[in-house]
Amino acid sequence: MSTSGDYKQQHLIKMANQIAHSMPTRDDIAGQISAHMRQFWPSEMQQTLRQIASENPDLLSEDVHNALQSL
């Protein structure tokens, strides 16, 4: 993912993993991540993240994968 076309995806991956890593309260972390994404992410970004999870699952943390289940 080094071309400019992938820049957006790189940032989404970084953002998602960072949210999962930094979310202050660890209870129901998947629920918190999905709630955060619903609150702040456009539908298109959520959709792109789902696509990344499907095509490159290793790039996202387990918490993000769990969050996507309820997103």
Partner 1 sequence: MNMVQQFDPAQVDYSQDLGTPGAESDVMVTVRIDGMPVSVPEGTSVMRAAAMVGANIPKLCATDNLNAFGSCRLCLVEIEGRPGTPASCTTPCAEGMSVHTQTPRLDKLRKGVMELYISDHPLDCLTCPANGDCELQDMAGAVGLRDVRYGTEGENHLDRGKDESNPYFTFDSSKCIVCSRCVRACSEVQGTFALTIAGRGFGSQVSPSEQQPFLDSECVSCGACVQACPTATLQEKSVIDLGVPSRKVKTTCAYCGVGCSFTAELRGDEVVRMVPDKQGGANEGHSCVKGRFAWGYAQHQDRVTTPMVRDSIEDEWRPVEWDEAINFAADRLNAIKSKHGVDAIGGITSSRCTNEEVYVVQKMVRAAFGTNNIDTCARVCHSPTGYGLKQTFGTSAGTQDFSSVEQADAILVIGANPTDAHPVFGSRMKRRLREGADLIVIDPRSIDLVRSPHIRAEHHLQLMPGTNVAVLNAISHVVATEGLMDDDFVYERCNKTSFNAWVDFISLPENSPEALADITGVDAETVRAAARAYATAGNGAIYYGLGVTEHSQGSTMVMAMANLAMATGNIGRLGVGVNPLRGQNNVQGSCDMGSFPHEFVGYRHVSDDTVREQFSSVWGVTLREDPGMRIPNMLDSAVSGDFKGIYIQGEDIAQSDPNTNHVAEALKAMECVIVQDLFLNETSHFAHVFLPGTSFLEKDGTFTNAERRINRVRPVMTSRTGLSEWEATCALSEAMGYPMPYESASEIMDEIAQLTPTFAGVSFDLLDKLGSVQWPCNEQAPEGTPIMHKDAFVRGEGQFMTTPYVPTDERSTRKFPLLLTTGRILSQYNVGAQTRRTDNVVWHAEDVLDIHEADAEARGVKDGDWIEITSRAGQTRMRARISDDIPAGVVYTTFHHPVSGTNVITTDNSDWATNCPEYKVTAVEIRPSSEQRA
- Considering the complex, state which of residue 39 and residue 54 has its C-beta at the smaller distance from partner 1: 39
Please give the C-alpha separations between residue 33 and each of 3, 56, 60, in angstroms, as whole numbers: 28, 19, 13
Minimal distance in Å, beta carbon 31 to partner 1? 16
Minimal distance in Å, beta carbon 24 to partner 1? 5
Question: Which residues of the shown chain bind partner 1 in the complex (CB under 8 A)?
Answer: 4-9, 11, 15, 18-19, 21-26, 36, 38-45
Measured CA to CA, the distance from residue 20 to residue 39 in angstroms comes to: 15
Angle at 34 between CA 3 and CA 59, to 5 degrees: 35
- Considering the complex, state which of residue 22 and residue 69 has its C-beta at the smaller distance from partner 1: 22
